[in-house]
Chains A and B, each alone.
Chain A
């Protein structure tokens, strides 16, 4: 029994000696534990100090090594300041995520805002036949003879549309699409070098003009 007691006491003493040093840190751990639970704050506090020391290395590591630095820093330094620091830094990290989250929310809407604008730009402007006619008449990209010849051909095409509608046929308007396209191509070929802006406008208005020509009511109101 004595030997057993001696062995047990000896083992206990041995274990006690070995466990004694760790027993201190465990006491420190619970003390640090509250800061550890707020691991981010001390890290944030350490980070500024590190920023002063080595600005480049400190910022990237706060999240990963934050707990380790907190565990060592309070032990190395006084415990009281660690508490103060733990108390002080608590708000900043809370503010930091709040600030980080706050801008992220507005940025998304701001990104969404410009998105619809291209869609709005994609909408074609309303067709203004009178303005187009005036621009064609005033452009210097086409000579007098050519303008007169173009006018003749436009009148011929309009005459074909008029004859089609007067004939009473409600189908077959697509047969006039090819001469219409040919005339538009001729106009574009004449304008594209000397008056590209007008050429672009006419090209963009191509379908709108056709929609007017292909609709008997719109055509009659136009002519």
Chain B
């Protein structure tokens, strides 16, 4: 029993650690998505290097050129990028 307990103590944290996509991968996907959106809206950015989540579908994106945009979905369902 003690061995099983020890094993479970080791396994469950590891499973929790490796289950699902890693935060880094999520970050990379989000940064790429924000970069594409800003590019699609025709705004200067280059590449989003970091993002801060404010709410669901609401992020502050920091661009490589130093610009910062608030990217969110407005009540009409449109994606908007506001320069900060």
A residues whose Cβ falls under 8 Å from a Cβ of B? 142-146, 148-150, 152-153, 186, 190
Contact = CB atoms under 8 A, between A and B. Distances in A.
A143 B31 CA distance: 10
A186 B41 CA distance: 10
B6 interface: no
User: Chain B contact residues (Cβ within 8 angstroms of A): what range?
Assistant: 10 to 19
19 contacts: A143-B30, A143-B32, A143-B34, A144-B33, A145-B34, A145-B36, A145-B37, A145-B57, A145-B71, A145-B79, A146-B36, A146-B37, A148-B73, A148-B79, A149-B37, A149-B41, A149-B79, A150-B40, A190-B36
Interface string B31-68: 01110110011000000000000000100000000000
B29 interface: yes
A186 to B, nearest CB: 6
B78 interface: yes
Contacts of A146: 33, 36-37, 40
Contacts of B29: 143
A153 B37 CA distance: 11
Interface of B: 29-30, 32-34, 36-37, 40-41, 57, 71, 73, 77-79
Contacts of A143: 29-30, 32-34, 36-37
A188 B57 CA distance: 24
B52 to A, nearest CB: 15
A202 B36 CA distance: 18
Contacts of A148: 73, 77-79
Contacts of B36: 142-143, 145-146, 190
